[in-house]
Chain A
Amino acid sequence: MGSGGRLTGNRLQGVVGGRRGCNGAEELARAGACEVTGEWKSRSPVKTGLPLWMLGLGADLLWADMNRLLAFLFHQGVLDEQFLQLQQLQDETSPNFVSEVVNIYFHESEKLLRNLRGLLMEREFSDYKKMGIHLNQLMGSSSSIGAKRVTNVCLAFRAATEHNNRPGCLRALEMLEHEYCYLKNKLHELFQIEQQRALAAGVRYPVQNN
């Protein structure tokens, strides 16, 4: 009960370990170090028939799950500190800021990725310059949300376009798509947990006694 109340106000503050914390990522990485070696797995719910969050009891567990997932993503280099900056921007005035931004990001990125694939698949002559512009955009927005691995692949991709290196571009595009899908899945997972956690935290039971 008490814990639920604590988390209601600033849901994400707990996650990032302080509003203006700069080394939140490190802390998280350290916290989740034991579990980051393998594939991250959400903790299996207690067997009650109903998911715990529906009972409004799993908020703490879900909070821990979120932290672990984040730590895992940091450790893998999928995300970097910029994501924490993003989380810091989320407050009461914009409670869904992160997911909003990230959804726009997904939307924009998918468009860019489609364009990139189209440009690269053109039979005769790929417009490397245009690809470079697309990549600059993707790189800019990716770095802004802290999608580190996507940003890095973009860099490599851009280098390949600068050299008109078609096989390099193709490789980079595949990697980019892979990284993007991975990021998208993981962030969706993260948002899902967050949603559940928010719901769990929102459940109020009538006070029985007193």
Chain B
Amino acid sequence: MVCEKESECIEDMEVEILPSMWPEDIGSEVGKQFNIEKPGRDQDMLEDVTIIEEPTIADFKRLMELTNFTEKGSSQLAYLMKHWEYKQANASRLLREELDSLSKQRQDVELRKMEILEEHRFEEERYGGDKRPVSILEDVYDIWQDVPRRKNKVVVQNKRIEIDAAEYDTVKYWKQRALHSEKLLEASIQREQILQEKLQERIKNIERQSSPVEELSQILKRADNFLHFILQNAPVVIGHQDKELRYRFIYNHFPSLQEEDIIGKTDIEIFTGSGVKESQEFKREVLEKGLPAKREITFETELFGSKTFLIYVEPVFSKAGETIGINYMGMDVTDQVRKRERMAKIREEIAVQKAKETELNKTIHITEETMRAKQMLATMSHEIRSPLSGVESGVMKLEATKFRPREVLKHVLQTAAASLQKILTLEGHVSDDVPIEVVGDVLRIRQILTNLISNAIKFTHEGKVGINLYVVSGTQANEDRCLSTPQSSSDRNLLDAQRHDHPPSQNHAFHGECISPVKSECSANGDTEEHHHSTETTVWIRCDVYDTGIGIPETAIPTLFKRYMQVGADHTRKYGGTGLGLAICKQLVELMGGDLTVSSKEHHGSTFTFILPYKVSIIEENSDDTDELSDMENDEGTCDDTTESFFQFQPRTLGSLFSSNGSSRTQKLLTHKIGYTSSNTSECSFSFPSHDIISKGTCSVQDSSLVVDTPEISESSASSSGQSRETNIENVVSRDKYCQDKGIADSSKHMVAALEMDIATKSSELQQKFKVQGNVTSIFASELTKSTSKPKILLVEDSKINIMVTQSMMKQLGHSIDVVNNGAEAVRAVQQCSYDLVLMDVCMPIMNGLQATKLIRSFEESGKWDAARKALMELNLADLDYECSGPSKKRIPIVAMTANALSESAEECFANGMDSFVSKPVTFQKLKECLEQYLS
């Protein structure tokens, strides 16, 4: 029992004692990590490990000093002493206890012995001469009851029975008892002996147990082994340096220097090279500050080359608290550092790669967008293409149909609202003075409006998009057109609002302005004027399409209406589109005799304004003032749409509900009714002959594009008529109408241009030159129609097969064609003969189709073949004929024939002045469509 207890105790102690081998702070915080296994097993474990003790180079004297002088060392020793003392005390306490218990037992035994002896004496006395009467009965027991029963009770009991059996109080009886007692005594002695032996053994054991020195050294050895065990392969250098940073102890598993080379020397004395000084200074810093620190230092020494060490340095203090040196631990992290650097590099490369990738993706995206745009162009629907090419070739038809501006406006807004994908308010204001019904090319106007509105929606993210319609005077139209400086949209809107509020005064002003010039102009041909004015008159309607969108930077405004131009590349990326829309719109507007302008403020919005002349039929609207009024009132009462002045599409009712703002409408009606005499003047004014003339006459005098066009008409008309007379404005107007009906908008346009020149009286020379007579136009027109019946077609193609096929097809379609084999020949052919259509292959030897087209176009613009001559010279080809060169009649439609619409970029075709393209192989269908489009 005692034995076990003791060993347990010792074991417990062992476990407790080991952590104390380690610095206290480690022991308390992470002690568990450093626990060593129980000594027995530990020893076994280390037996298998061969420990090379060589690497340790230690200054043992110094170590002793350290243990003696440093705090840690002394506390360590003190602890070990205390522990040993405690253990000894414990052992002696146990021994004393054992002794105590043994002596107690002996005392017991002795007491018993004495008792027995006493009994014997008593018995003997009784035996000797007992005179006292002894009860033979139960009384005998009384005596035995006095004897302590504790230990011998059983025995005594047995005895008693034996005694009972034997004869009581006989000699024999007493003999027996004595014998028995003897036996007991013997057993007791025997026990005592055993105990004594045990005690001896115990003492011997204790003696055999180790001395404190032994135990200490054992523990130290174990710790040493442990350290060796864990350090034997670690790329670690551990050292201790004194105050002067001289090595006093160093452990290095891979020593490259002998003990004498290191101990007692400083780093600088041992090594040379970069990093050495740094480490020395670092150590000194730690020494001075008294705080442990870590640092990574790269050494470049002759001894071991380039190596990076992670160095941990901690100060060592004396008992008095002074720093007496440093502990130093270094670990070779060269590979890690290299890896880390490589990783960093790789990461950097990855980042660069990623950046490149995103850039590439962007580029791809842009390219795709561009491709899509190209594709879109290539497959651009016939409807979109035709007005453009129509505008370009100048043979577009203008339809004159009656339509209701309010309905058109409403419908355009409704359509836009239906496909609206943003939260925008769409609204439309129609001034009361805008006629209910006007005559114009509603299809084109709708196209322009739709285009402008969709454009506005595209570039607006919040706020509203709207259209204002109101009547302006012809002169005002002119003024507006001349406004080149972009106004801020807000200003413009403000202006618009003002105009809205005061339409009557405006109209009055317009009348005042107009009447006088009319009189002077019209006096010459009073009779014709009247004749025409009884049927119709012209009204100029200004249309503002405004938005609260991103606006247009001022610098971008000049190029805004150019083809394929958008404000910036970013915009194309962000908003898509081809940049064709505005160019087409502008050309359409100009073709109809108006002008398209823009005012914008970046980030605030833009307003696109176009002013167009419309014919108003007076027969329907009654020339009489009072009748007109009553009519109007009736209209209002019966039909909403005809006179509605305000439309709004709120974002909530997107695409589903069309709500005309009732309250505002009644308001408008109210004002309308209050000032009806004045507000209706514009409509009444239609009966004034002057209005028409002036508004017609002032259209776009300064429009340069029209001026360029004028020579051809003047030439043709002059040659065909011979006479020249003062132009009658009315005639021109009627002619205009006539020409439109005939579908020769081209000539009408030129007539208008010529007329403008007249009225503007800009240059008297020009005036003389461009005087045109009324009947000339019809002749000219008929000539044109005649010429279209047998058009001259030129095929420019190098492939024999294609020539055969195309020629044959043309033949079946009833056309004979001229064929040339390359671009240079084409240029020559165009110079020598005027063609109505050129079918141009793109890829050709000598000169390709694009180049040829460009040269032809440059001639058409300049009237000179200089560029073509130069190009031919460069190609070493024969020069053009000189005598044949002269101003071309008109722009020849040139249709590209491409083997692959995408590879031979449609955009390139358009950019070089081609009007459209036919993809190869040519078929009857394609040729027919092409001929219908350009020769009808």
Contacts and interface: CB of A to CB of B under 8 A. Distances in A.
B805 A101 contact: yes
B35 interface: no
A144 B805 contact: yes
Interface residues of B, number: 21
Contact of B923 (A85, A100, A108, A139): A85
B804 A140 contact: no
Contacts of A85: 805, 809, 921, 923-924
A22 B799 CA distance: 25
Given A89-B812, A133-B843, A140 B800 contact: no
A140 B802 contact: yes
| Secondary structure type dominating chain A contacts | helix
B544 interface: no
Interface in B507-547: none
Given A144-B921, A146-B921, A89 B809 contact: yes
B101 interface: no
B137 interface: no
Contacts of A94: 808
A91 B921 CA distance: 20
Contacts of B801: 101, 104-105, 108, 140-141, 144-145
B388 to A, nearest CB: 27
B573 interface: no
A67 interface: no
Interface string A134-156: 00110111011110000000010
B830 interface: no
Contacts of A97: 808
A143 B800 contact: no
Contact of B920 (A20, A108, A144, A155): A144
A139 B842 CA distance: 13
Interface string B834-864: 0000000101010000000000000000000
A145 B800 CA distance: 11
A141 B923 contact: no
Nearest to A94: B808
A145 B809 CA distance: 13
Contacts of A136: 843, 899
A101 B804 CA distance: 7
Most chain B Cβ neighbours within 10 Å, of A105, A137, A144, A155: A144
B798 interface: yes
Nearest to B925: A22
A85 B812 CA distance: 11
Nearest to A108: B800
B924 A88 contact: yes
Contacts, number: 65
A185 to B, nearest CB: 19
B120 to A, nearest CB: 133
B924 A20 contact: yes
A155 B800 CA distance: 20
Most chain A C-beta atoms within 10 Å of own C-beta, residue among B798, B812, B845, B899: B899
Most buried by B among A88, A133, A141: A141
A143 B808 contact: no
A3 B184 CA distance: 155
A141 B922 CA distance: 11
A25 to B, nearest CB: 13
A31 B843 CA distance: 39
Given A86-B805, A104-B800, A104-B804, A143 B923 contact: no
Contacts of A86: 805
A101 B361 CA distance: 48
A82 B804 contact: no
B808 A140 contact: no
A89 to B, nearest CB: 4
B799 A89 contact: no
Interface in B812-844: 812, 841, 843
Given A89-B808, A89-B809, A143-B899, A82 B923 contact: yes
Contacts of B799: 108, 137, 140-141, 144
Interface of A: 20, 22, 81-82, 85-86, 88-89, 91, 94, 97, 100-101, 104-105, 108, 133, 136-137, 139-141, 143-146, 155
19 contacts: A22-B925, A85-B809, A88-B812, A88-B924, A89-B809, A89-B812, A97-B808, A101-B805, A108-B800, A136-B899, A137-B843, A140-B801, A140-B802, A141-B801, A141-B802, A143-B899, A144-B799, A144-B805, A144-B921
